[in-house]
Amino acid sequence: MSSVTSLSLPYLNRELSWLDFNARVLEEALDERVPLLERLKFLAIFSTNLDEFYMVRVAGLRRKVASGAPQYAPDPLAPAEQLVAIRTRVRELLARRRRVLKRELLPGLARHDIHLVKMETLDDAERARVHEFFEAQVFPVLTPLAVDPGHPFPYISNLSLSLAVDIRDPVTGKAHFARVKVPRSLPRWVSFGRGHCYVPLEDVIGAHLGALFPGMEVQRWFTFRITRYSDLDLGQMDQPEDLLETIEQQVFQRRFGEVVRLEVQHDMPERIRALLLEELSESETQLVAPLGPDDVHDEDDLLEMGDLLQLALTDLPELRDPPHTPQVPPAFRDGRNLFDVIRERDVLVHHPFESFTASVETFLEAAANDPQVLAIKLTLYRTSGDMAIVRALTEAAEAGKQVAVIIELQARFDETNNITFARTMESVGIHVAYGLPGLKTHAKTVLVVRRDADGIRRYVHIGTGNYNSRTARLYTDMGLFTCHPEIGADLSDLFNSLTGVSRQKHYRRLAVAPVSLRARLLELIERETAHAIAGKGGRIIAKMNALVDPEIIAALYRASQAGVKIDLIVRGICCLVPGLAGMSEHIRVVSIIGRFLEHSRLAFFANAGNPEYYIGSADWMPRNFDRRVEVMTPIEDQLLHKGLEAVLATCLSDNRQAWELGADGQYRRREPRGEAARATHQIFMKEPWGTEAARPPKRKKKGEAD
Position 291 confidence tier, pLDDT thresholds 50, 70, 90: confident
Which of 111, 99, 107 has its CA nearest to residue 27? 99
d(CA 279, CA 271): 12
Give the pLDDT confidence score for residue 381 in this predicted structure: 79
Q: What is the mean pLDDT of residues 289-316?
A: 90
Coil/strand/helix, residue 561? helix
pLDDT beyond 50 at 113: yes
Q: How far is CA 467 from CA 23, 344, 511, in A?
A: 29, 25, 20
Give the pLDDT confidence score for residue 245 in this predicted structure: 58
214-239, pLDDT tens digit by residue? 999 999 999 999 999 877 554 444 44
Helix axis angle for 550-561 and 517-533, nearest 10°, is 10
Give the pLDDT confidence score for residue 695 in this predicted structure: 43
At position 160, the amino acid (one-letter code) is: S
Q: What is the mean pLDDT of residues 71-80?
A: 88
Give the pLDDT confidence score for residue 290 in this predicted structure: 80
d(CA 544, CA 528): 19
Position 68 confidence tier, pLDDT thresholds 50, 70, 90: confident
pLDDT beyond 70 at 327: yes
Q: What is the mean pLDDT of residues 455-473?
A: 94
Distance of CA 286 to the CA centre of its chain: 28
Position 153 confidence tier, pLDDT thresholds 50, 70, 90: confident
Instruction: Give the range among 177-181, 290-294, 566-570, 701-705 with minimum mean pLDDT.
Output: 701-705
- For residue 81, list its beta bridge partners: none
**Known catalytic residue: 196?**
no
Give the pLDDT confidence score for residue 380 in this predicted structure: 85
Longest pairwise C-alpha distance within the chain = 92
Per annotation, catalytic residue among 351, 442, 531, 586: 442
More confident residue, 501 or 593: 593
Q: Are 439 and 627 in contact (CB under 8 A)?
A: yes
d(CA 94, CA 469): 33
pLDDT beyond 90 at 108: yes
More confident residue, 696 or 172: 172
Q: Are 620 and 691 in contact (CB under 8 A)?
A: no
- Which letter does DSSP use for residue 57 in this model? I
Kindly report the three-state secondary structure assignment for every residue of 104-153: HHHHHHHHCCEEECCHHHCCHHHHHHHHHHHHHHHCCCCCCEEEECCECC
Coil/strand/helix, residue 261? strand
Q: How far is CA 514 from CA 503, 521, 551, 629, in A?
A: 11, 12, 15, 6
- For residue 602, list its beta bridge partners: 543, 615
Position 705 confidence tier, pLDDT thresholds 50, 70, 90: very low
At position 257, the amino acid (one-letter code) is: G
Burial (CB < 10 A; 0-12, 13-18, 19+), residue 69, is: middle
Q: Sketch out the chain's domains with CATH numbers.
A: 14-98 (1.20.58.310), 117-317 (3.30.1840.10), 330-499 (3.30.870.10), 511-686 (3.30.870.10)
Q: What is the mean pLDDT of residues 629-641?
A: 96
Give the pLDDT confidence score for residue 693 in this predicted structure: 43
pLDDT beyond 60 at 706: no
Q: Are 395 and 368 in contact (CB under 8 A)?
A: yes
Q: Are 399 and 366 in contact (CB under 8 A)?
A: no
d(CA 618, CA 657): 23
Give the pLDDT confidence score for residue 486 in this predicted structure: 97
Q: How far is CA 109 from CA 104, 305, 317, in A?
A: 8, 15, 14
468-519, pLDDT tens digit by residue? 888 999 999 999 999 999 999 999 999 999 888 667 789 999 999 999 999 9
Q: Are 652 and 569 in contact (CB under 8 A)?
A: yes
H or E element in which residue 200 lies: strand 196-200
Q: How far is CA 187 from CA 92, 136, 204, 314, in A?
A: 30, 14, 11, 14
d(CA 126, CA 67): 55
Q: What is the end-to-end Cα distance of the chain in Å, rounded? A: 28
Task: Characterize 297-334 residue by residue with b for buried, 16 or more Cβ atoms within 10 angstroms of its Cβ, and e for exposed.
Answer: bebeebbbbbbbbebbebeeeebbeeeeebbbbebbee
Distance of CA 349 to the CA centre of its chain: 21
Give the pLDDT confidence score for residue 660 in this predicted structure: 98
pLDDT beyond 60 at 682: yes
pLDDT beyond 50 at 185: yes
Give the pLDDT confidence score for residue 244 in this predicted structure: 53
Instruction: Give the range among 164-168, 258-262, 378-382, 546-550 with minimum mean pLDDT.
Output: 378-382
Average pLDDT of the chain is 89
Q: Are 492 and 644 in contact (CB under 8 A)?
A: no
671-681, pLDDT tens digit by residue? 998 899 999 99
pLDDT beyond 70 at 151: no
Q: What is the mean pLDDT of residues 187-210?
A: 94
Q: What are phi and psi of 320, to 5 degrees?
A: -130, 165
